Amino acid sequence: MPLSATDTDRPKANDRLAASLFAEVLIAEQLSRNLIGKALPRGMQISHFSVLNLLAHVNEERTPAQLAQAFHVTRGAMTNTLSRLEWAGHVHIRPDWDDARRKFVSISPAGRAARDAAIAAFMPLIAEVVRDIGADKVRTALPVLRELRIRLEGEDD
């Protein structure tokens, strides 16, 4: 059965839709990082905040390998981030008493305070963006963005 003109045009339209979606997501991600990065306390990077935020949320120790996996980065990149956070006094890193090759990371009181200060600095900025766009539009977009994230997380396997 021959393909109709609309059948042959559909893949091209879907390709253009996919390209537009990913272009918007990538640009929004870069602009969001710039907005948040400028608001973070001096010396704090988004990667530092992200680790502190995760540790504050889970409120329990994690290994560097678990953190690297959670952020889809190499162990080396996570080690670098953790070294900087430890130097700043934002995390405690201790050996695993059962396996000396492994370490555990927890957020320190100073790290929790730094995370809270970061949130206080950028939350008004991102809340203003949501207010400007409209809460209903944001609620409508969230399920699609969440599904996109879940789908892309599956690509790492």
What are 3-47's pLDDT values in tens digits? 555 555 677 889 999 999 999 999 999 999 999 999 998 889 999
Q: What is the pLDDT of residue 155?
A: 79
* Contacts with 124 (C-beta within 8 Å, 6 or more apart), sequence order: none
The reply to whether 77 falls in a domain is yes
What are 80-123's pLDDT values in tens digits? 999 999 999 999 999 999 988 899 999 999 999 999 999 999 99
The reply to whether 22 falls in a domain is yes
* Contacts with 90 (C-beta within 8 Å, 6 or more apart), sequence order: 48, 52, 107, 108, 110, 111, 114
Residue 59 has phi, psi (to 5 degrees) of 55, 35
The reply to whether 1 falls in a domain is no
**C-beta neighbour count of 9 within 10 angstroms:** 11
The reply to whether 7 falls in a domain is no
Residue whose entry in the numeric block shows the structure tokens 């059948």: 7
Measure the CA–CA gap between 136 and 131, rounded to whole angstroms.
10
Measure the CA–CA gap between 95 and 26, rounded to whole angstroms.
38
The reply to whether 98 falls in a domain is yes
Instruction: Give me the domain span that covers residue 132.
Output: 18-154
Q: In CATH, what number is assigned to the domain containing residue 117?
A: 1.10.10.10
Q: How many domains is the chain partitioned into structurally?
A: 1
pTM (2 d.p.):
0.82
Measure the CA–CA gap between 97 and 19, rounded to whole angstroms.
50
Measure the CA–CA gap between 112 and 89, rounded to whole angstroms.
10
The reply to whether 6 falls in a domain is no
E strands present in the chain: 91-95, 103-107
The reply to whether 13 falls in a domain is no
Rg (the chain; Cα; Å)? 20
The reply to whether 123 falls in a domain is yes
